[in-house]
Structures are given as C-alpha cells and as structure tokens.
Chain A
Amino acid sequence: MNQIVFIELINPFKDKVFRLAKRLLTSTEEAEDATQEVIVKLWNKKEDLNHYNNVEALAMTMTKNYCLDQLKSKRAGNLKIVHDNYTDRAPQLDKKLEDSNSLEWVEKIISQLPEQLQILIQLRDVEQYEFDEIAKIVNMNETAIRVALSRARKKIRESMLNTHQYGIK
C-alpha cells in the first residue's frame, strides 16, 4: 500500500476521528495530536489493514482508546487543564449571557456528561453512525447503546430546560 492509496483510504473518516478526539479532549491542538497519532499508527500497520474489513471502525476505536488514555494519564498527574481559570469575572458574565443564546451551551452540557455518553452522542447524533457500527466501535451491544443514548439525550434535554427557565421559575 503506498501513500496515495493510504490517504484515499483515511480521508473519508479523518475528520470524524478529529471530531471525536475534540469531543473528548476539548482542545483543538490536542485533538489534532490525537488524530495524527491514530493515523500514524494506522500507517505503521498498513500491511495488516487488509485483514480488517472495516478500517473506519478500527480507527474510531483507536481514537476512543487513545483519548481515554490521554484523559486518564492527565487526571493521574493532576494536570487537567481548566480553561477560563485566569480571566476575571466581568467578561465571563457577558460571555454567559451570550452563550445562552448560542449553541455553546449545548457543547458545555455535553462536555459535562460521562465520557462514554459523550462518545455515543458524538457517534450517533453528530456522525450518524448506524447502531451496528457503533457497537463495533465501542464494543457494546445495540440495546445497551440505545439505553445509554436515551439517557444521554434526556440529560441534555433536562439541562437545557433548566438553563432556559433559569430565573423564570
């Protein structure tokens, strides 16, 4: 397999890998590092790729595992990056008002879900994978995925309702 064939193979799902990494790692730079890592790993075992009938699912699984490892190692080292840590309060309040009108709230709400649910939301609601494909990626059965997904969606709805009605009731 040469470089051109390989790039044609990964191009359809390269961005999906990136978006899944970004969902879990938050920062764009780290997500790009993760994407690169996954693609280089695939490149290194390019000779074996023929044995896998679904390289995309393999790539997504690798991404998921890599990101979870990253998160784990960061937590172990107490290195979790807290973003707006150093900004002062006034602009944050402005930002909050602005956010409430935009889609960023949804992002915040999703980022507070457990990682497993974030992965499912990303795979199903953003990337629109079929349940059998998701089952291969996360190694769960379809019923469990449906149940978890329903839980995640309801949680998002609940948090959004709370945000919307904040100060009214």
Chain B
Amino acid sequence: MELNNIENIIEKYFQGETSIAEEKQLKDYFSSSNVAQHLKQYQPMFGYFSQVKEQKSTQEIPLQTKKRNVAWLSIAASVAVLLAAGTFFYVSEKNTTPVVAQSELGTYDNPEEALEATQKALALLSNNVNVGIESVQYIKEYEQSKNKIFKQ
C-alpha cells in the first residue's frame, strides 16, 4: 500500500505536480533504510537534495564599514585643510618680510653709468632669449618635413 503510494508520488514528482509535503514524504522515504529495489535508482537524487541543504556559508559579512569611513574621511579632510591653511600663512609670512627698502637696491647716481648698466642687462637678457629661439628653430625643420609628407 505504502509502496504503491510512493510510486504514485514519484510519478507526480516527475510531472512537476507534487506539493512540498509530498516531496518531503519522498525525501523521508529515500533516506530510510528499506527502499524497494526497483526504486533504489532514485535514492541518490533525493539523498543529494537533502545533503546539499546542509551546506552553510561560513564567512563573516563586513557591515557598518561605510559609516566609519565617512568619519575618518572627515577627520582626514579637516587635518588636511588645517595643514594647508597653516603652511599658506607660514609661507606668506616669510615672503612678506624680505620686501626691502628702496635704499638697499643697487642704484646709480651717474645717468651714463646707469645707461651702460641697463644696456648690459638688456643684452644679457636678449642673449638668453636667443638661445631659446635657436632651439625653437628645430621645430621649423619638423614643420617642413611634415609638409613634405602630408601635402596640403
């Protein structure tokens, strides 16, 4: 009688028409020791379903980390702002002191001497600028070869 019943449930099971209770009945039947010979082939299937359900995740889930990060972030930000402000004031303080009186700058009394000195200074400046221009000449070379290759 019971065997007949189990066979019926198995038939329904493979049609996808069993209820949870009936499926539980099958699991119980196949985990018992007296399974009929011709039904033994289904035993691993139901055994497997029961076994797999025992698996558990063992890891810890890290939560709450986000909130703490925000707190640390604001601390770090305020420290950075303080540091930046501190260094800015420190540096600007230092820069303002060496503003020197007019008298300490070198100056000429004789206008001719002054002209000479100015010309010398400008010549030095122009020399240095020319050095810069020389290296820019190379770019013209590139321009020419570029025009050769990409004819416009």
Binding site for B on A (CB under 8 A): 3, 6-7, 14-15, 17-19, 22, 31-32, 35-36, 39-40, 43-44, 102-103, 105-107, 124-128, 130, 145-150, 153-154, 156-157, 160-161, 164
Contact = CB atoms under 8 A, between A and B. Distances in A.
Contact of A146 (B16, B44, B48): B16
A19 B44 contact: no
A127 B55 CA distance: 11
Contact of A36 (B24, B42, B48, B59): B59
Contacts of A125: 23, 49
Given A125-B23, A126-B52, A40 B45 contact: no
Given A3-B63, A107-B48, A164-B41, A147 B16 contact: yes
A161 B24 CA distance: 23
Interface of B: 13-17, 20, 23-24, 41-42, 44-45, 47-49, 51-53, 55-59, 61-64, 66
Given A103-B44, A150-B14, 5 more contacts: A15-B56, A19-B53, A44-B66, A154-B14, A156-B45
Contacts of A102: 44
A126 B56 contact: no
Nearest to A38: B61
A103 B51 contact: yes
A157 B48 CA distance: 13
B63 A161 contact: no
Nearest to B50: A126
Nearest to A150: B16
Contact of B61 (A39, A106, A149, A157): A39
Contacts of A39: 61, 63
